[in-house]
Amino acid sequence: MGGGRRAIEEADEAWDAEVQHVRGAGVRLPFLTWGRLGVLAVILGIGAAMVGEEPASKLEQGVQLEGHLGLIETIRFSGDGKTLLTSGWDRTVRIWDVEAGRGDGFGRELACLTLPWELYGAALSPDGRCVAAVGIEGLTLWNWTGEDDAPKTLNDVGSCRALAFSPDGRVLALGGYDGRIHMVDTEKGRISSILGRHEDAVRKMMFTSDSRLLISLSFDGAIKTWDLEKGRPLARFSGIEDASRPILTMAMSPVGDSLAVSRLNDDSGQIEIWDVAAGVLRTTCPAEDRETHALTFSRDGRVLASAGSDYRIRFWNATTGTSAGILDGETGWVRTLDFSADGVWMALSSVPDHVNLRRLALPAPLATRLEAPAVDASSSRRSGRA
């Protein structure tokens, strides 16, 4: 797997050097009439995804969030869809107001945490209140909604590269550069257990929707599934391991039924979608791109978005693998992206220090059931320093 890691690192370096600006303002769905579009919106759960007439306002065209001073590493919407979490190489984690109908307040920065050490990733708890950030000095936890809650650092976990909250919010998984995975009790703020280890640094992790399994990906392209009750790896996915084609990145659907992966050294350029329960390959998306380096699912799990080396954002039916549209215009090199909870917005990082919100649906999304508790975001901007 050593060659796989070198290839992945080289790809990262190449992507870090390749940056272009965003152009275009909508989602282009060729071959669709308005009637067919309505049907597709219901089937895919992404609302009326086509931007029709000339947008009536800047908000409808898209919004650029400015504040970071370095490459954006993390972009994630909160569970209730009211806030957006971002983190970057400028050692800051920021919370943005993205609640619809707020007029001039949309896109306003609500809070900022500045860390004194290199930051590699961040995550938001399911209730939207707690920020977790990891880097060279370990873990920092910050309740950004509490005026008196100072950030707390847990440095006995070592240098961490990846992290993930369990869907129930009780556990935070930390992936280390030493290959180990620490499980942190979020209520007590301390390590509850340590899973076995990868042979290389842990790059990405995600829980299944029932919080019973954790899927982890290392820098050598190896993937593992962990039974959290027994604390050991499982042979979950049949045939997913391929040393000649290491996994480059992955994404888990929020409903927990699908795992999407892209690979290095894959001449087909296909994206694979695996059935999590059965552990088998369900379908492939014919991306036909040299490499797909960012993946994310819509909140209902029916739509997969991908960003590749052709500088386009493409949408896929996660059940059939067929194309579900493409974002108009080249976006440039995209490191990370995410759907809003209601499917109206796509957040992406396509320039070194800007976060772009692109409108996917007009004039309004289909109703979406949100189960995450609301966060009372005060009008004042909060700042923190670890």
Q: Residue 9 — φ and ψ, nearest 5°?
A: -65, -40
**Residue range 131-136: mean pLDDT, rounded:** 95
Neighbours of 352 (CB within 10 A): 17
Strand intervals (E) in 70-199: 72-77, 83-88, 92-97, 109-114, 119-124, 130-135, 138-143, 152-154, 160-165, 171-176, 180-185, 190-197
The average pLDDT across 307-333 equals 88
Cα 23 to Cα 63, 180, 323, 330: the distances in Å are 12, 41, 21, 6
Answer whether 126's CB lies under 8 Å from 136's CB.
Answer: no
The type of residue at 204 is K
User: Using CA atoms, how far apart are residues 314 and 323, in angstroms rounded to an integer?
Assistant: 8
**243-270 confidence digits (pLDDT tens):** 888 999 999 999 999 999 999 877 777 9
- Read off the pLDDT of each residue in 371-379 and give the average, rounded to a whole number: 38
Model pLDDT for residues 96-116, shown as the tens digit of each residue: 999 866 567 889 999 999 999
Give the residue, 226 or 59, on which the prediction is more confident. 226
Q: What is the pLDDT of residue 100?
A: 64
Helix, strand, coil % (nearest 5) of the chain? 10, 40, 50
Number of H helices and E strands in the chain, helices first, is: 3, 30
- At 169, the pLDDT band (50, 70, 90 cuts) reads very high
- pLDDT band of residue 1 (cuts 50, 70, 90) is low
Say whether pLDDT at 25 is over 70: no
pLDDT band at 283 (very low <50, low <70, confident <90, very high): very high
Determine which of 30-44, 325-339, 350-364 has the lowest per-residue pLDDT on average.
30-44
- Section 201-206 average pLDDT: 95
Give the tokens for residue 255. Answer: 């409903």
Average pLDDT value for the chain: 80
Question: How many CB atoms are closer than 10 A to CB 378?
Answer: 10
Query: CA nearest 343: which of 322, 327, 359, 363?
Result: 359
CA distance 137 to 11: 25
What phi, psi does 43 have (nearest 5°)?
Answer: -65, -45
Residue 275 has pLDDT above 80, yes or no: yes
Weakest-pLDDT range from 174-178, 281-285, 358-362: 358-362
* Banded pLDDT at 10 (limits 50, 70, 90): low
172 pLDDT higher than 70: yes
Q: What is the mean pLDDT of residues 168-180?
A: 94
Q: Give the per-residue pLDDT at 243.
A: 84
For residue 181 the two structure tokens come to: 């995975």
- Averaged pLDDT, 52-75: 71
- Complete domains list, the chain, with CATH: 2-364 (2.130.10.10)
Whole-model pTM?
A: 0.81
